[in-house]
Amino acid sequence: MIAGITITSCSKKQDSLGAGSGENPFFTEWSAPFGVPPYDKIKVEHYKPAFDKGLADHEAEIDAIVNNEDKPTFENTILALESSGELLTHVSRVFFNLSQTDGNDEMDAIEEEYAPILTKHDDEINMNEKLFARIKVVYDERASSGLGAEENRLIEKYYKNFVRGGTSLSAEDKAKVMKINEEIVTLTTKFGKNLLAENNKFQLLITDEKDLAGLPESSINAAAETAKSKETEGWIFTLNKPSWIPFMQFADNRKLREKMYKAYIDRGNNNDELDNKAILEKIVPLRTQKANIMGYKTWADFIISDNMAKTSDAANALVNQVATATIPFAKAEAAELQKMIVKTGENFKLEGWDWWYYTEKLRKERYDLDEEMLRPYFSLETTQKGMFMLCNKLWGLQFEKLTNLPLYNKDVLTYEIKDRDGSHLGIMYFDFHPRSTKRGGAWMENIIDEYFVDGKRSAPVIVNVCNFTGPVGDTPSLLSIDEAETMFHEFGHALHGLLTQCKYRSTSGTSVPSDFVELPSQVMENWVLEPQMLKQYAKHYKTGEIIPDSLISKIQAAKTFNQGFITMELIAASALDMDWHTQTTTDKKDAVAFEKESMKKLGLIDEIAPRYSSWYFNHIFGGDPSYSAGYYAYTWSAVLDADAYQAFVETGDIFNPEVAEKFRKNVLETGDSEDPAVSYRNFRGKDATPDAYLKRKGFVKK
């Protein structure tokens, strides 16, 4: 996924950064190599003064645009808006990235204070009638302006964004929307902070070695390291995925698996000070109320009208189509696992905390394959090299590790990315491992965007944040297949930001609809397990041995194994998201009862929980509002990525440079400078259908 916050666009100009210099690094031009943030100089006490000055500067810039007596033009209105708010953008990008990756109590307090202030600031701009009047003049005259396609696209984006921001509402409705927005941002901020605290609160301490039975040595050693770091005797397992997943896969102790499982799915649902149910029960009616004011029947209709799907009906149709295809496979998998339970001499009914464990047993029996056999070939270092190698094969990209950039955390790695001709494309920060200050999941953020100023390209600075299995002692970080795919996925987002060649920040890179933004990321996952690819990068971390053909054959044979479960938990979360956000009334819903009914309606079997239950569904209740009513986007984009990858497969060469260049030109470079549907057709020559996606899952015959 990509993460973001709603902030106003800015340009490369340095005038406002030089004002009011002093010791605050936000008030001076950044002199670190490549213009990256001076993380070594930024302190917590710098943020509030920088936010205050950034807000004041931006207000003054908006006033100057509004009070300009000249006739509104593209330059004095649209471009002036694009170049406004530079200081505010700088401090926001740095602060909100660090609040998610390296936060503390002081930063939490600042976020709680300034999130509603920033929301109100955005609302006041979006609802400024005089400003919108100037935009409308430019919008109405765009056909005869002689401007280029990207300029017209930018004009249309500004016009549409202001309309969606509430500028055409009555004064009474504007006040209502502003109040709703302020309430929602306060609630979503609290939701996310509660979830992080819940994650850090739980730990499973094991003191009896017998309770470690079945667990791989790597998992045991990591738990011992965690216990040692907490000055505790024994082994500590946490809800971070690198700790939680191996425990669910391999721990023989069923009662402990149940404890871990329930601790994970009950985050935010423990009826304590960190409970999130009451928060989301307030968020949903507020969103419905806002959608109604904006002229939409539901929040989903409001959000999706700006996406490729266009309507909630179209999004729901895809969710239901995939669910219908998936449910029989999920049921069949459950039956197989129940047989495996009986076969091992047990007589209990399969439960959610058994699925991972017996899936590994069945995988081992059927394919003589398990995750631990593969990890030694997927060290973080070799997997990253493989990812770089792929990008070099496809686009000629070059990667140079840097050691001279300021870091926000000592574990962060930095690289310069160059094009095939050696020209500078951008800077990457990789933040790979869990820590108590970092929220869960994986995401990409732009710290500095790509765009052009006076004909010169502003090179992007991008961060990939993950939560991968860490190194233990002398053993390096050894990734699961899921983690390897996540690395490629997040770097796909980074490529979208690095390779874009757009003139304006608002059309650049990942500034595209949420159901298109996952295409560049998800398409990268297709290469991870291809035999030709594995032979070039999957090397044993101790011996350097290339992964043997016997293992590759097993991987290929097991490609569609457990896809019923994997797809069902994803599509269940998508359906849950859509059900919450297609409410037509503002009646308060009981979260537990609502989710139960939603999953019953979908046909989700009891043995599978949605990937995200409501109370820890941070995508839709704790972050960027564009992700709400948007979890379907992962499946929508999966249809696109499966079809896009077929363009390579059909040539007989998965590294085909001509297809790669066409994908780069029409998808990665174009950003939102044109309609994404047009971009995709320019690449593929046709619209995508679900056929390749369903075949890849094994749900239909090839």
Residue among 495, 494, 498 nearest 423 (CA): 498
Which of 135-173 are b and which e, b meaning 16 or more Cβ less than 10 Å from the residue's Cβ? bbebbeebeeeebeebbbbbbebbbeebbebbbbbeeeb
* Cα separation of the two ends of the chain: 29
Distance CA 262, CA 267 (A): 8
Distance CA 266, CA 595 (A): 13
Distance CA 19, CA 566 (A): 53
Distance CA 686, CA 3 (A): 30
Give φ, ψ of 171 to 5 degrees: -60, -40
Tokens 């490629």 -> residue = 488
Give φ, ψ of 595 to 5 degrees: -65, -40
**DSSP secondary structure string for all residues of 672-699:** TSS-HHHHHHHHHSS---THHHHHHHTS
Report the SS3 class of residue 221: helix
The answer to whether 445 is a known catalytic residue is: no
Could you give the residue ranges of the DSSP H alpha helices within 236-304?
A: 241-250, 254-265, 277-293, 299-304
Report the SS3 class of residue 452: strand
Measured CA distances, 335 to 338, 357, 564 (Å)? 5, 15, 12
CB-based contact 628:303 (threshold 8 Å): yes
**DSSP secondary structure string for all residues of 464-502:** EE--PPPPBTTB--B--HHHHHHHHHHHHHHHHHHH---
CB-based contact 90:105 (threshold 8 Å): no
Q: Which of 360, 371, 485, 490 is catalytic?
A: 490
DSSP 8-state code for residue 438 = S
Report the SS3 class of residue 658: helix
Q: State the SS3 of 399-421.
A: EEEECCCCCCCCCCEEEEEECCC
Tokens 């609160």 -> residue = 201
Distance CA 353, CA 262 (A): 8
Distance CA 301, CA 306 (A): 9
Distance CA 694, CA 201 (A): 40
Residues annotated as part of the active site: 490
